[in-house]
Each structure stands twice: as structure tokens, then as C-alpha cells.
Structure 1
Amino acid sequence: MPTDISRLVHNVNEQGFTALEKTGLRGQQDQGLVSTLISRDLSGSDDLCVSWGRILPGQHHLCHHHPDASEFYVVISGAPLVHLGDTDYRAKPGDGIYIPRGTTHGITNDGDEDVNLVVGVSKPADWQFVADE
């Protein structure tokens, strides 16, 4: 019996992006775009969620943490300022960044090109987003 790939393969260019929807502690809007590629609802995953993220020039993805999930970023393009705990790191294409559960993190695109990154979370859905700013 052939494998049904309709739930297993998703393409960012076909799906497009949606705007991030979280709100910060002072009512500020989270900024950036996301296209989910692997998740519980989309793919039937029971152990992870993977998305393509895009942060446009001048945008800031709010600093936050996940008490119930670890996360990673793989930078595809751009040179964002990645906030990790109390440290800021100037990322570059090819960087893999691990964010342990409970670690405050966020991204600022202070450059003039789009930041594209692959984002993975260690839960397939329903992880907690706790704003830290």
C-alpha cells in the first residue's frame, strides 16, 4: 500500500505565511510571519512542530519563554539579533540555535534583508507562550 504523502509533505511556498498573533506585557504586538510545515493537526505529529519563520526588516519577535517545550532556530538568511536569556547573539546563515525549555528568547531584525529561519518546538501543538516583555 503506497504512503499517502498529502499529510506528510507541506511546502512553504504553497501554504504561504500568517502573521504572529501574540501580545506582549505592555500590549505590544508580536511581529513576524510563520508557515507551519509539521504539526499535530497538519501532519499527525506526536512529538514536534516545525515551521518556517520570516522576520521582516524592522520587526521584533517578542522575548518570551516556553515552560513546557524546548525550541530551535536554524537561520537560513539574514543576520538577526537573537536574544537568549540575558545575552544577545548576532546570528548568521547556517547557525543552529538551541533554546532550552524555560529560556527567554526573541529575535530582532535590525538589518535590511528578510530573516528566514526554520523553527522547531519539542511538542506537536499547544505549547505555552509566556511573554517576558
Structure 2
Amino acid sequence: MPPQVISQKNAQHYTWGSSCDGWFLVRTPELNIIEERMPPGASEIRHHHLRARQFFFVLEGELTMEIERQVFTVGRGEGIEIAPGQAHQAMNRGRDDLHFLVTSQPPSHGDRLDAETTSSQIA
């Protein structure tokens, strides 16, 4: 496939949660790079991945990331790594939209276990 310039304008788009957006900037069997938008007050479900290692990099806004019950604040131009198996939850506690990149290697879709599912399976 020849190189091409990619952005939100021509990337494959999807929605998640109640009001969040994602755009696949790179989508291969080995690597995903996704640009995401999370409005104020939005969050994802606490979960972990069996194989995927992820890196979240903030483009605009402020990301609140809970990893293994420890809370981190990640600002514009900063990032945070999530190792396989680490339970985590991304949140936007700010007043503005949060824009960030998520790099997953291997891809995280289909490799996710929600914390509620895991807890109910153990009980």
C-alpha cells in the first residue's frame, strides 16, 4: 500500500461509550494507532488487556487515568504507558473535550476484559 496522509477527515471512524469518537490512523494486525475524542464527564469502563501494551498521548485537554487503583493526571504533550494485564480506566474530568492518541501493540480490540466481567467470573 503506498504511503498516504491520514487524518480524521479520511480515517475509519467509530463511536464508543455514550459520546466518544475514535479514528483509526494506523490499523494493522500488529499495531493500532487511534485518535480519540472524549467529551467532559466521559469515561470508559475499567478493564485490562491480555496481550496489548498501550500508550496514551494527550493532544489537547487533560486525561485522568486510573491504573491499578492509582490515579494519574496526564496533560497536553504528555503520555502514559499501560502494560498488558494492568487494569485501567480513562476519564475526562476537565471542562473541555479531551483529544489523545492511543497506540496499541498488538491491537487491543478483541483483547479486552472488563473489570465487572472479570469480577463476576471470579465470584
**Alignment TM class, shorter chain as reference:** 0.7 to 0.9
In the comparison of the two structures, how many residue pairs are matched?
A: 116
CA offsets, 1:16-62, max 9 Å, x none?
74211xxxxxxxx565221111112xxxxx42110001111111111
2:27 match = 39
Q: Which residue does 1:43 correspond to in 2? A: none
**How far apart are residue 4 of structure 1 and its match?**
1.9
2:40–2:93 CA contact under 8 A, matched in 1: yes
Structure 1 moving runs of 4+ over 4 Å: 124-127
Q: Structure 2 stretches of 5 or more lacking a match?
A: 117-123
Indicate the percent of aligned positions where both proteins have the same amino acid: 22
TM-score (norm 1): 0.76
* Alignment correspondent of 2:82: 99
Report the residue type matching 2:60 in the other structure.
Answer: S
**Given the alignment, which residue of 15, 26, 38 partners 1:19?**
15
Distance 1:111 1:16, change over 3 A: farther
SS at match of 1:60: coil
Q: Distance in 2 between matches of 1:56 and 1:16?
A: 20
* 1:74 corresponds to 2:81: no
Gap change, CA 1:68 and 1:127, over 3 Å in 2: farther
Report the equivalent of 1:10. 6
Maintained 8 Å contact 2:37/2:97: yes
Give the aligned partner of residue 120 of structure 2.
none
Q: Please list the CA deviations of residues 48-80 of structure 1 after superposition, one character each: whole Å capped at 9, or x if unmatched.
A: 110001111111111111011111100111112
Alignment RMSD, CA only? 2.1
